[in-house]
Amino acid sequence: MSRQKVTRAFLWLAVLVGGPLLGAKLFDLLVLAGAWSADPPASLAMMPYGKAWPVDTGVFFIPFSAAMLVAGFGALAAGWRTPWRYRWMLCLPSVGILLLLVLTVVAFWPMNAALYYHAIHSAKDTITNAQSIVLAQRWITLDWVRVAGAAAAFVAPLCALTMPWPGERAQNDPLWVRIALTTMLAGVAAFVVWFVSNM
């Protein structure tokens, strides 16, 4: 199978996964987060965690994000020798989803825990009512970053699919680019292993 066909197959996967992922992220932000962040701390009881919610939102977002990560890096690897005018659209979904996953782990997981513990009056609660209001507002603001990132990760492969496949191959990348790519891929693999082991 040619690199063009493999790249396009991964791009189609990115589009087919990215559309529902973007839609679900908008629903999560506007409906679910809109409800639990409306009037903290009282509204925090509506956070979709704990016994009152039989399904965690992560059950949807984690597999779809993982599929998007595979699709993005698959398209990037298969289409790596394309010129940069085309290759940047292959970089956006892979690097974008990876950065959004890192943002989720670094920023959202601690905020989710702090807000949830405050909502259920846990012994692990470390914030005040006033801090819960500020934290909920920060959560909403940062979640718009995730929505924008998900939109870019969906639109970029869609644009790449509508463009003609570049006939010429890019020159061999400099050594520093190849080292950076290898380091990045090793970092992605390490992050994925860590992410899965901490779910």
The confidence score (pLDDT) of residue 180 equals: 83
DSSP state of 44: G
Please give the C-alpha separations between residue 101 and each of 30, 78, 178, in angstroms, as whole numbers.
Answer: 20, 22, 24
Whose tokens are 């782990």? That residue is: 105
Q: Cβ atoms within 10 A of the Cβ of 139, count?
A: 20
Q: What's the DSSP call for residue 30?
A: I
pLDDT for the residue numbered 199: 61
Return per-residue pLDDT of the chain as tens, 199 residues: 698 999 999 999 999 999 999 999 999 999 999 999 999 999 998 998 877 787 788 888 888 988 998 899 899 989 988 988 898 999 898 888 888 988 998 999 999 999 999 999 999 999 999 999 999 999 999 999 999 999 999 999 999 999 999 887 777 778 888 788 788 778 777 777 777 676 6
The count of domains in the chain is 1
What is the structure's pLDDT at 198? 66
Q: pLDDT at position 1, please?
A: 66
CA distance 148 to 32: 18
Note the pTM of the prediction, 2 decimals.
0.84
The candidate with the shortest Cα–Cα distance to 13, out of 75, 57, 104, is: 75
What pLDDT score was predicted for residue 122? 93
Range(s) of the domain holding residue 124: 3-197
Three-state secondary structure of 108-167: HHHHHHHHHHHHCCCCCCCCCHHHHHHHHHHHHHHHHHHHHHHHHHHHHHHHHHHCCCCC
Asked, as a colleague might, if the bond just before 83 is cis with ω within 30 of 0, I would say no
Give phi and psi for 198, each to the nearest 5: -105, 10
C-alpha span between 187 and 181 (Å, rounded): 10
Closest CA to 44 of 107, 113, 110: 113
Q: How confident is the model at residue 196, as a pLDDT? A: 67
Which amino acid, one-letter code, is at 193?
Answer: V
Count Cβ atoms below 10 Å from residue 17 Cβ, excluding itself.
Answer: 25
